[in-house]
C-alpha cells in the first residue's frame, strides 16, 4: 500500500483494476475502457449526464504521454480531438445531446480528413436544452452522419456497463482500421448506473496501425498534409467515391447484434441500449407464460445489422416486429428499410425522458398476439 501511494494515479488504476471485478458507473467504465484501449488524448466540456466521464479522465489521464484538457467549448473539444488524431494518437471526446450537436462540424471534418477518433454521446432528452433524463432521440443524428456532407460514422450502442467498457477497445481499433470517427451512443441511464464489470488484462494488445499519414514533422520523409479540402474539379467527387467504398466495406464487415429467443418467435422485439434491457425483461416474462417472443438488439447502429432482418424476412414463417425506442420512432425506419415491406413492423416509443416500461411492452405484445 505504501508503495502504491507513491505511484502515479493511472499506474495504480492499471495495476489494481486488472482482471478485477469492480463496481463502476457507465460513464466511468467508458473512460476506464478508453484508457486501457490506449486513449492518449481526451478533451471535454461539462454537460450532464456524462460529467463523471470527464472527471474520471481528469483524474486518470495523467500518465506520461497522456493529455487531458477541459476545453472552452464543445467546438474546441472536438477540434482538439481533430488535432490529436492528426498527430497520430488515439483521441476521444464525450458529451451529451446538445453538446454533440455542437460537435457535428468537427465530426464532419474528422470524417473528411479520414482521422480516427472516438466520440461518446450519453444521450439526454431534446430538442433544444430538453432535460437531463435518458433518451434515444439522437439516433438519426448519429447514424446519418450528423454534420454536413456524405459521410457516416460507425455507431455502437452498449446496453450494459460491461459492454460499454468492452466496446471502447473495439471502437479505438476500428477507428484506426477505417480511419473514421466512431460514436458510442449511450444514454443517461447507462451513464449513471453502477454495475460490476470485469476489467481486461492490461497485457491485452490493442491492435496497432501504422499511421504514416500523421503529422510528426517531416524528418526523413516528404511533408504530410491533413485536410478535407479538394478544390480541383473532380477531386472531391473522387474522394467521396473512395469514402463510399470504405463505408461499403464497413457495412459488409461490422454489423453486430444480439439475438435472444428469435428462432421460434412469432413476435420479435427490436430495441437497443438501455431500452433493450427492459425489452429483454418483457421477453423473459412472456416466455415464462409460454408466449413465443424474441428480441434482436442491434449493437452496431451504423452499420445497421440488416442481414439478420433480411434472413428472417426471407424465411417462410412471417413474423411481426415490434420496435421499442426511447424516442418517437427513429431506429424503426432502419428496421423497415431492412425488412423492405416483407414483414409487419409495429412501434412503441416514448420521448422527452419517458421510458417504455416492462408493463407497457407486455401489454403491447399481448395486443399484437390477439
Residues in touch with other proteins (CB under 8 A): 40-41, 43, 65, 67, 69, 71-73, 75-77, 79-84, 86-87, 89, 91, 105-106, 109, 113, 215-220, 223-229, 231
Please list, in sequence order, all residues whose beta carbon lies within 8 angstroms of the beta carbon of residue 71, skipping any fewer than 6 positions away.
43, 44, 45, 77, 80
Q: Are 268 and 319 in contact (CB under 8 A)?
A: yes
Q: Which of 215, 313 has the CB closer to other proteins?
A: 215
Q: CB of 183: closest distance to other proteins in angstroms? A: 18
Q: Are 94 and 49 in contact (CB under 8 A)?
A: no
Q: CB of 103: closest distance to other proteins in angstroms? A: 11
Beta bridge partners of 134: 124
SS3 104: helix
Q: CB of 197: closest distance to other proteins in angstroms? A: 29
Q: Which of 228, 240 has the CB closer to other proteins?
A: 228
Cis ω before 336 (30° cut-off from 0): no
Q: Which of 15, 227 has the CB closer to other proteins?
A: 227
The DSSP 8-state label assigned to residue 50 in this structure reads: -
Q: Which of 82, 321 has the CB closer to other proteins?
A: 82
Q: CB of 113: closest distance to other proteins in angstroms? A: 7
Cα 25 from Cα 13, distance rounded (Å): 15
Q: CB of 54: closest distance to other proteins in angstroms? A: 16
What is the β-pairing status of strands 21-25 and 117-123? unpaired
SS3 76: helix
Cα 206 from Cα 250, distance rounded (Å): 20
Q: Which of 209, 213 has the CB closer to other proteins?
A: 213
SS3 178: helix
Q: Which of 93, 160 has the CB closer to other proteins?
A: 93
Cα 23 from Cα 309, distance rounded (Å): 36
- The CA–CA distances, whole Å, from 277 to 46, 241, 269 equal 28, 39, 11
Q: Which of 40, 280 has the CB closer to other proteins?
A: 40
Cα 98 from Cα 131, distance rounded (Å): 10
- The CA–CA distances, whole Å, from 239 to 124, 177, 183, 212, 222 equal 35, 18, 22, 19, 21
Q: Which of 72, 363 has the CB closer to other proteins?
A: 72
Q: CB of 42: closest distance to other proteins in angstroms? A: 10
Amino acid at each position: 500500500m505504501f508503495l502504491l501511494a507513491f505511484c502515479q494515479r493511472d499506474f495504480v488504476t492499471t495495476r489494481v483494476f486488472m482482471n478485477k471485478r469492480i463496481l463502476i458507473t457507465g460513464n466511468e467504465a467508458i473512460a476506464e475502457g478508453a484508457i486501457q484501449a490506449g486513449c492518449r488524448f481526451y478533451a471535454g466540456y461539462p454537460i450532464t449526464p456524462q460529467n463523471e466521464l470527464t472527471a474520471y479522465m481528469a483524474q486518470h489521464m495523467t500518465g506520461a504521454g497522456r493529455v487531458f484538457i477541459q476545453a472552452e467549448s464543445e467546438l474546441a473539444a472536438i477540434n482538439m480531438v481533430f488535432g490529436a488524431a492528426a498527430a497520430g494518437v488515439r483521441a476521444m471526446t464525450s458529451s451529451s445531446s446538445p453538446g454533440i450537436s455542437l460537435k457535428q462540424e468537427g465530426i464532419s471534418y474528422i470524417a473528411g480528413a479520414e482521422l480516427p477518433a472516438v466520440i461518446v454521446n450519453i444521450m439526454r432528452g431534446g430538442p433544444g436544452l430538453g432535460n437531463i433524463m435518458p433518451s434515444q432521440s439522437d439516433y438519426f443524428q448519429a447514424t446519418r452522419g450528423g454534420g454536413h456532407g456524405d459521410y457516416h460514422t460507425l455507431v455502437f450502442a452498449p446496453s450494459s456497463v460491461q459492454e460499454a467498457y468492452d466496446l471502447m477497445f473495439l471502437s479505438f481499433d476500428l477507428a484506426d482500421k477505417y480511419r473514421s470517427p466512431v460514436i458510442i451512443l449511450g444514454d443517461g441511464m447507462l451513464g449513471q448506473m453502477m454495475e460490476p464489470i470485469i476489467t481486461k488484462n492490461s497485457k491485452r494488445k490493442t491492435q496497432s496501425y501504422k499511421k504514416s499519414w500523421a503529422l510528426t514533422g517531416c524528418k526523413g520523409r516528404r511533408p504530410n498534409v491533413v485536410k478535407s479540402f479538394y478544390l480541383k474539379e473532380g477531386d472531391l467527387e473522387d474522394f467521396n467515391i473512395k469514402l463510399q467504398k470504405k463505408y461499403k466495406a464497413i457495412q459488409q464487415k461490422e454489423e453486430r447484434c444480439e439475438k435472444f429467443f428469435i428462432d421460434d418467435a412469432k413476435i420479435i422485439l427490436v430495441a437497443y441500449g438501455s431500452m433493450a434491457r427492459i425489452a429483454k425483461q418483457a421477453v423473459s416474462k412472456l416466455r415464462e407464460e409460454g408466449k413465443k417472443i424474441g428480441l434482436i438488439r442491434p449493437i452496431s447502429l451504423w452499420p445497421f445489422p440488416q442481414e439478420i432482418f433480411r434472413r428472417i424476412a426471407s424465411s417462410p414463417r412471417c413474423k411481426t416486429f415490434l420496435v421499442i425506442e426511447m424516442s418517437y420512432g427513429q431506429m424503426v425506419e432502419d428496421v423497415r428499410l431492412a425488412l423492405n415491406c416483407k414483414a409487419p413492423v409495429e412501434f412503441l416509443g416514448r420521448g422527452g425522458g419517458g421510458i417504455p416500461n416492462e408493463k407497457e411492452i407486455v401489454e403491447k405484445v399481448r395486443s399484437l398476439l390477439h
